A and B are shown apart, each in its own frame.
Chain A
Amino acid sequence: MSEKYKNIDDLFRDKFNDLEVDPPAHVWDNVKSGIYGSGKFGPGKPFFYGGIMFLSVALIFLGVYSFLFFNSTPDINPEIYTANNLTEINNSTNKSEDNLLAMQSAPIKEVDVSYQDHSSSDPKSKGKKKQKVIFDISQNNNITSGKTSLVVTDNNNLTKTVPSNIQKEKDPATDISEIANELLEISFLKPGDDSELLALNQTEYEAVETKMEEINTEIIEEENVANTLSDNNPSNPEQSSNQEVRSDYGKKGNLKLGVYFTPEMIFYPSNSGFNNRSYSVDLNAIYEFSGYLIQSGIGVNWLSDDGNYKIDYNKYLGSYEDVYNVTFDTTGNEVIPIYHTETVDVYDSIDHITITPTKSNYTYLQIPVLFGYGHENRRFGWFVKGGPSLSILVHENIADINLSDSQNQIINVENELPSRISTNWQFVFSGGVSYKLSSHLSLSVEPVFRYYIKSVYDNTNLNTKNPYSLGLRAGFLLDF
C-alpha cells in the first residue's frame, strides 16, 4: 500500500489489468441456447448434404432405369422396315411390268447388313443380328416381259427371285447399290446365309413367286404390332413410317418442357451468419433454335432464416390479493366486513434478457428469363445460359416468441433478422449437360450461380447487400 501513483491512468490500468469476476451460471446457459445451431452437428446440415446425395443417387438410378427401359424394345425395328419395303417392292414391280429393260451385270458388292429373323425356327440362327454378306448382284432386265427381277441363290441352290422397283433410266452403278440395299431388307435372307444374287431371266421369277407370297403372309401378321412399336424408334427416322419422327429433320425450332429441382446455398459475403439454404422446384419452357435457347417459366422457392429473438422481460415472481375496498354487512346481528380484492401480479424489477433461436420460413415465386447456347450430339448435350430472374415473396411464416415462462412480462423484443422485401431481382448463370434417355426425354444437370442485385432484407443499414448463391439444378426435359 506504500506505492503512490502520479498518473491517474496508470492507477486504473494497474488495478484493472487482472480483474477477473466469475459471471453468474445463467449467462452460460443463455450462451449455449444462443449458439445452438452452430458447429459441426448443427441442425439441418446433415439433411442438406444428405438430401443432395439422395437426389443424385435417385437421378442416376432413374436415368439408368429409363435408359434400359427405352432401349429394350427397338430390336424389332429392322424387321419392320423389311416388311414395309418388301410390300412396297412387290407393289411397285407389278406397276412396272410394261417397262422395256436391258440386261446389265454388276460387280460384287460388300455391304453391312443388319436384320433379325423372328420367324426362323433354327436355334443356331437366333440372336445373330449383324454380319457381312457378299452378294453377287445381277440385274435381270427382261426386254420381252418388261419386268426387272433380282434372283438370289443360296448355298442349297434354292433360287429366289425378287422384283425390283429401280427404273431403267437410272445410272447403272447407282441402281446396283440401291438394289443391294433393298435385298438386304428382304426377310428370306436368313442369318448365316451366304447367298448369291444371280442374274436370271423373267421365267424363273414366277417359280419363286409362290414362296414370296408365303413369306409375305408371315410378315403381315407381325406388321400391326411392328407399326405400333416403330413410333418409338429413333435410330432411322427417314425410313420410319412415323410422320412425327420424320418431321424432326430440318425443323428450325424445338420446344422443350423442363421440370427441375434445385438445392442452393446462399452466401452473404459481409456476414456469414446470414448464410442459409433454399430449395426450388421449377417448371420451364425452353425454345431452341439454331443452337440458341430461350428459357422461361415459373418456380417455387422455399427457404428459412435462422435467427435469434432477444427478449427483454421482467420475471414473474408471484401474485397477491390487493384489497381495494372494504364494505360491512350489517344485516345480521354482527357487523361482518367484506373485503373486495383483485389479483395483482408481481414482477422482478430487474430487467432480464434471454436469447432464443428462431426459424422463419419464406416462399417465393420465381420467374426466370434465360438466354443461352448449347449443342447436342446423339445422346449427350451441353449448354450455358444466363439472364435475370424475379423472385416474389408469396408467403412467410414468422416464428412466434417463445418464452419459457409465459407469465413473464415481455418489455421489448428485438429480432436479429429484419424482415424480407417482397420482390428481388437476381442474375442467374448456369452451365450443364444433358443426356437423352429417349427421343422425348432427357436428363439435365447444371450447376447454378445466382447473384442478387440488392439485399433481400428490408433494412438498408444491414450490411448484407449482394448475396450470391451456388446450387445444383437437376431435372427432366420433355421434348415435343
Chain B
Amino acid sequence: MTVDEKIVEGCIAGKRRAQNQLYQKYAPGMFGVCLRYCKNIAEAEDILQEGFIKVFKNVKKYRKEGSFEGWIRRIMVNSAITHFNKNKIHFEEIDEEKMESPEEAETNETFAPVDQEILLNLIQNMPEGYRMVLNLYVFEGYNHKEISDILNISENTSKSQLSKARKYLKNKLEEINKVKTASFAYERQF
C-alpha cells in the first residue's frame, strides 16, 4: 500500500492525523493552482479552503482510477469555477464576423524567461474572464467547446478571451523586457 493509499484510507476512516497529512502534502501545490485562478491571496485562500472541505467530505468517492493529486486538483479547479460563476462575470459575447484574428500562442518573437512571481502577478492582474479562459485552456487542457460549456459562454467568446489574454500577456512581457534591457544597458554604462 502506497503512502497516498494509506492517507486516503485514513481519511475515509475519519482519522484526523491522516487528514492533516493529506493537507500538509498537497496544500502548497493546490494553493499554487488557486493563486492562478484568483485576483488576490485572500480569494485563493477561500477557494483552497472550500476545495479541501470538499476533498475530505468526498474522499470515499475517490475511485483510485487516476492519481490522487489529479483528483484533488480537479476539485480545486471546480471550486474556482464555482467561485467564478458565483461572481457572475459577464463576458462580451462575440459574433464570428466581429472576431479579430486570433492571437496565436506561437509567434515570431521570443520570450525571455521571467520570474515566477512576476508572471503570477501578471495573471492575477488580468481581467477575470481572460484569466479563467487562459487557465482552463493552457493549464487544464480544455478545448474551447468544453470551456464554453463550463462557463456557459459561446465558443467564439472563449476563443476571443484567450486571444485577448495572450495579447495582454505579450504586451506586458514586452514592457518587462524593455525595462530589463534598459536596466541592463544602464548597468553596463557604469
* Interface residue ranges, A against B (CB under 8 Å): 1, 3-13, 15-16, 19-24, 27-28, 30-32, 34-35, 38-42, 272-273, 350-353, 355
Q: Which of B1-44 contact A (CB under 8 A)?
A: 11, 13-15, 19-20, 23, 27-29, 31-33, 35-36, 42
Q: 9 smallest A-B Cβ distances: which pairs?
A: A39-B14, A19-B32, A40-B14, A34-B53, A4-B110, A20-B28, A9-B105, A35-B56, A23-B31
* Interface residue ranges, B against A (CB under 8 Å): 11, 13-15, 19-20, 23, 27-29, 31-33, 35-36, 42, 45-46, 48-50, 52-53, 56-58, 61, 105-114, 116, 119-120, 123, 134, 138-139, 166, 169-170, 173
Query: Which listed residue, A4, A13, A38, A272, touches B14 by the CB 8 Å rule?
Result: A38
Residue of B nearest to A23 (CB): B31
Most buried by B among A13, A15, A273, A353: A15
- List 20 A-B residue pairs with CB atoms under 8 Å apart, sorted by A's residue number: A5-B112, A6-B106, A8-B111, A9-B138, A11-B111, A11-B114, A12-B123, A12-B134, A15-B119, A16-B32, A19-B120, A20-B28, A21-B28, A23-B28, A24-B45, A27-B27, A38-B57, A39-B13, A273-B57, A353-B45
Residues of B within 8 A of A38 (CB): 14, 56-57
Contact call B106/A7, Cβ cutoff below 8 A: yes
- Give the complex CA separation of A89 and B11 in angstroms: 82
Residue of A nearest to B103 (CB): A8
What is the minimal beta-carbon distance from A375 to any residue of chain B, in angstroms? 42
Residues of B within 8 A of A41 (CB): 14
Residues of A within 8 A of B29 (CB): 19-20
What is the minimal beta-carbon distance from A347 to any residue of chain B, in angstroms? 15
- Give the complex CA separation of A280 and B18 in angstroms: 37
Residue of A nearest to B51 (CB): A31
Residue of B nearest to A19 (CB): B32
In the complex where A12-B138, A35-B53, A353-B46 touch, is A28 in contact with B110 (Cβ < 8 A)?
A: no
Contact call A3/B113, Cβ cutoff below 8 A: yes
- Give the complex CA separation of A353 and B23 in angstroms: 19
Residues of B within 8 A of A353 (CB): 42, 45-46, 49
Residues of B within 8 A of A351 (CB): 42
Contact call B45/A23, Cβ cutoff below 8 A: yes
Contact call B170/A355, Cβ cutoff below 8 A: no
Residues of A within 8 A of B19 (CB): 32, 35, 39
Contact call A22/B28, Cβ cutoff below 8 A: yes
- Give the complex CA separation of A243 and B169 in angstroms: 98
- If A7-B106, A11-B119, A28-B23 are given as contacts, then 5 extra A-B residue pairs at C-beta distance below 8 Å, sorted by A number, are A15-B114, A19-B29, A38-B14, A39-B14, A40-B14
What is the minimal beta-carbon distance from B3 to any residue of chain A, in angstroms? 18
Residue of B nearest to A24 (CB): B45
Contact call B53/A355, Cβ cutoff below 8 A: yes
What is the minimal beta-carbon distance from A244 to any residue of chain B, in angstroms? 58
- Give the complex CA separation of A41 and B10 in angstroms: 12
In the complex where A3-B113, A23-B27, A23-B48 touch, is A8 in contact with B169 (Cβ < 8 A)?
A: yes
Residues of B within 8 A of A5 (CB): 110-113
Residues of A within 8 A of B166 (CB): 8-9
Contact call B48/A27, Cβ cutoff below 8 A: yes
What is the minimal beta-carbon distance from B70 to any residue of chain A, in angstroms? 14
Contact call A31/B49, Cβ cutoff below 8 A: yes
- Give the complex CA separation of A9 and B105 in angstroms: 6
In the complex where A1-B113, A4-B111, A11-B113 touch, is A42 in contact with B45 (Cβ < 8 A)?
A: no
Residues of A within 8 A of B123 (CB): 12
Residues of A within 8 A of B139 (CB): 12-13, 16
Residues of B within 8 A of A15 (CB): 113-114, 116, 119
Residues of A within 8 A of B35 (CB): 19, 21
- Give the complex CA separation of A174 and B31 in angstroms: 99
